[in-house]
Amino acid sequence: MDALDELLHQPYPSAFVTTGGVIRRLNAAMATVLGRTAEQCAGRDFAELLPSGQRVSAERLVAQGATGKRLAMNVLEFPGPGSASLVFLVEAKLVEESESDERLVWVHSLGAENDLASLLIPFRLAAKAAGLGVWMYSPSDRQLEWMGGAPAMAALFPKAAMPLSWAMRRVHPDDQKALRRLLRPTTAQSPWIEIRFHTVHDDWHDLVCQARRIDIGYGGPQLTFGVVRDETEQKTQKTDMQAALVAEQERAGLIADFSSALITATTEQGLQQVVLTRLATTFEGTGAVLALVEDNSLHVSTDAGVSTEEADALHGMSLGDPDPLPVAIRTGEPQLIGSQEDYLQHWPHGAALSWFDLPDSGRAALVTPLGRADDQPLGAWAVIFDRDYQPSPDELALMGTLANLAGQALGRVKSQQVHLELAKAVQQSMLPTLPEHLPGLEVAARYRPSRDGLDIGGDWYDAYVLPDSAVAVEIGDIQGHDVDAAAFMGQVRASMRAIAADEPAPGTVLSRTNELLVTMGAARFATCTMLHIDPRDGRVTGTSAGHVPLLCVHARMAGMRYSISPATWSWGFFLTPTTPRRPSRWTTTARWSWSRTGWSKDRD
């Protein structure tokens, strides 16, 4: 047995590697700590058989030992045969094999079990560099010991050694079970575990810990070591970011709803409601003002966040006044009142707004114009804040976009209103003025739309004296609710009057009118009921062209539905429809009532 063989016959791990780090020979102890058989290790790179985090240190150790010029020692971690890794001090020394004259590096463990601190130096340095703390747990002593690392971590614990019972009391009750699992890991390395820890400074910290089972020295005791990181600040930041994300998502929803409501607004009142209920909330303000231009002055409406006194100070303001609202409308540029001082400095001659005159009022406002329609300013809105306010460029852009949407909606509403007013004027001009006196009759008419937005259409009524001294009464409906329907209604009413002047019988009037409509190729159809009332003998003759039944009421009888004709045809479909007539004797106490939508229940 040569001298090198004697080195391998030591009870501690020992191996010979080339200067490049390849294993030539090793003893059973070294194979055991490498977690393999001797045959599996021979010919392999020594550093490659160690945990990945140890390979660079192992390569440097072998390289230093190969120089033969300096003492080469380092603490290395070996995988070990079981669930626990081994940590011991390793020396690398240059030797020469006598038979082949090959230079080899003898790698072997050194006994340092009595100097535990030296074995932990690399771990403490690595933990400190990573901002971690290192702790050790001894199951036999049931004690936690702080081993060093990041100084900020050490400040969380009052002393270096702590009984497990003390630490357990400091851990949140819901996390105590996790701590027990951490101190008794079933694998070489546990996953990262979150633990809420109540420090001696009476505050809670969010810690994340990882434990490892390590044998200290070859044949030494097995202990549980762990690293800990304080993530309180990161978790707080994460919580804040999540809250900000949720708030941003909620605000995006508010903006989308606000935009949709602005786009679908069809009346000025509806637009005011949208703005005053959504504007302040969308921009986290405390109040909203909507100022619309009417005859070169401002018509102001506000939500509950603006007092009556403040609204009165703005309402009726001239478009030429030196105040943020009219200036924004005139120039088309947003006006920011960032604070009370800002208002007093830039608007010394502005309106005396009460909340800007109060000391330390802490209020601000952002005024945004709504744009123009037909080169005329529409108005502006303002968001009121209960704090000093400086909007970001993105906030200004968003406010401007929504104000532009509101301006477009207002322009559409005004244009539609002009159209409706014109159409109503056309229709009113075509509806007759009932004669003040009709022989033996009292005639009353009321025109009322069935629902909002349908103020115009082709409905009509008429009453006039015929050449035979009888009275003609008619009611009808043209298809549609627009200007064309109103114009067509005027043509039909005029045609009926012209025909009735020569042929007053209701059936003849309706038939001739229908022939006229068919000949004209009218694109619309119509329904009508006409009565021929002779006041001399009380006879009433009527004909219906697809219209609803009328109602006849006597003084001593309830209202009864009275169908004067079974006809269901409407004008504009058939060239020669049948128009049956039904005469009725009329008394002086009778009342006839009918409408284009149904019969009424009027009583004497």
pLDDT digits (tens, 9 = 90+) for 86-102: 888 899 999 988 777 78
Of 394-408, 415-429, 530-544, the least confident: 415-429
- Is residue 426, in this structure, part of any structural domain at all? no
* Alpha-carbon torsion (185, 188, 193, 197), positive or negative: positive
393 and 282 within one domain:
yes
**CA 82, CA 88: separation in Å to the nearest integer?**
16
pLDDT value, residue 449 = 63
pLDDT value, residue 423 = 63
Domain count for the chain: 4
In this prediction, residues 401-428 reach a mean pLDDT of 79
Cα 6 to Cα 175, 222, 476, distances in angstroms: 53, 29, 126
Strands 287-294 and 379-385: antiparallel
Mean of pLDDT over the chain: 81
Q: Is pLDDT larger for residue 59 or for residue 416?
A: 59
What pTM does this model have?
0.49
CB atoms within 10 A of CB 176: 14
Domain end among 230, 262, 285: 230
Q: Is pLDDT larger for residue 447 or for residue 271?
A: 271
Angle (CA) 121-127-128 rounded to 5° is 90
**Tens digits of residue pLDDT in 357-388:** 444 456 889 999 999 888 889 999 999 998 88
Cα 198 to Cα 54, 223, 240, 317, 480, distances in angstroms: 35, 25, 21, 62, 77
Cα 442 to Cα 360, 434, 535, 594, distances in angstroms: 71, 10, 12, 14
CATH of the domain at 314: 3.30.450.40
CATH of the domain at 83: 3.30.450.20
In this prediction, residues 141-163 reach a mean pLDDT of 82
**Residues with Cβ within 8 Å of residue 297, at least 6 apart in sequence:** 316, 317, 318, 319
How is residue 407 written in tokens? 């301006």
In this prediction, residues 311-323 reach a mean pLDDT of 87
121 and 97 within one domain:
no
pLDDT at 492 over 80: yes
pLDDT value, residue 215 = 83
Domain end among 91, 111, 131: 111
Of 138-142, 479-483, 565-569, the least confident: 565-569
pLDDT value, residue 455 = 54
| Phi, psi values for residue 316, rounded to 5° | 80, 0
pLDDT value, residue 452 = 53
pLDDT value, residue 456 = 62
How is residue 521 written in tokens? 């190729």
Domain end among 397, 419, 441: 419
564 and 447 within one domain:
yes
343 and 401 within one domain:
yes
- Is residue 237, in this structure, part of any structural domain at all? no
pLDDT at 339 over 70: yes
pLDDT value, residue 416 = 76
pLDDT value, residue 562 = 47
**CA 88, CA 93: separation in Å to the nearest integer?**
16
pLDDT value, residue 565 = 46
Return the C-alpha torsion angle 566, 571, 573, 576, nearest 10: 70
pLDDT value, residue 516 = 84
DSSP secondary structure string for all residues of 195-257: EEEE-TTS-EEEEEEEEEEEEESTT--EEEEEEEEE-HHHHHHHHHHHHHHHHHHHHHHHHHH
- Is residue 235, in this structure, part of any structural domain at all? no
Find the length of the chain. 604
Of 120-129, 505-514, 544-553, 555-564, the least confident: 555-564
409 and 530 within one domain:
no
317 and 450 within one domain:
no
In this prediction, residues 173-184 reach a mean pLDDT of 90
pLDDT value, residue 557 = 52
**Tens digits of residue pLDDT in 35-65:** 999 999 999 999 999 998 899 999 999 999 9
**CA 340, CA 360: separation in Å to the nearest integer?**
8
pLDDT value, residue 285 = 92
pLDDT value, residue 155 = 77
Strands 591-593 and 582-585: unpaired
**What b/e sequence results for 515-527 when a residue is b if at least 16 CB atoms lie within 10 Å of its CB, and e otherwise?**
bbbbeeebebbbb
Q: Is pLDDT larger for residue 89 or for residue 150?
A: 89
- Is residue 604, in this structure, part of any structural domain at all? no
CATH of the domain at 537: 3.60.40.10
pLDDT value, residue 601 = 31
Domain that holds residue 481: 431-593
How is residue 41 written in tokens? 């290790």
pLDDT band at 468 (very low <50, low <70, confident <90, very high): confident
- Is residue 59, in this structure, part of any structural domain at all? yes
Of 250-259, 276-285, 401-410, 557-566, the least confident: 557-566
**CA 545, CA 124: separation in Å to the nearest integer?**
103
pLDDT value, residue 122 = 73
- Is residue 241, in this structure, part of any structural domain at all? no
261 and 311 within one domain:
yes
pLDDT at 290 over 90: yes
- Is residue 150, in this structure, part of any structural domain at all? yes
576 and 437 within one domain:
yes
253 and 370 within one domain:
yes
In this prediction, residues 537-551 reach a mean pLDDT of 80
- Is residue 315, in this structure, part of any structural domain at all? yes
pLDDT value, residue 457 = 66
Cα 319 to Cα 299, 351, 366, 394, distances in angstroms: 11, 13, 18, 29
**CA 154, CA 375: separation in Å to the nearest integer?**
71
Q: Tell me the angle at which helices 483-502 and 393-430 cross, rounded to the nearest 10 degrees.
A: 0
195 and 104 within one domain:
no
**CA 496, CA 510: separation in Å to the nearest integer?**
7
**What b/e sequence results for 477-496 when a residue is b if at least 16 CB atoms lie within 10 Å of its CB, and e otherwise?**
bbbbbebebbebbbebbebb
409 and 436 within one domain:
no
In this prediction, residues 385-395 reach a mean pLDDT of 88
320 and 346 within one domain:
yes
pLDDT at 226 over 80: yes
| Partner residues linked to 542 by β-bridges | 531, 582
Judging by beta carbons within 10 Å of its beta carbon (0-12, 13-18, 19+), is residue 434 exposed, middle or buried?
A: middle
pLDDT band at 588 (very low <50, low <70, confident <90, very high): very low
pLDDT value, residue 595 = 45
Q: Is pLDDT larger for residue 394 or for residue 550?
A: 394
Per DSSP, the three-state class of 101 is coil
DSSP secondary structure string for all residues of 311-338: HHHHTT-BTTSSSHHHHHHHH---EEE-
pLDDT at 594 over 50: no
pLDDT value, residue 574 = 40
pLDDT value, residue 350 = 60
Of the chain, the percentage scoring pLDDT greater than 90 comes to 25
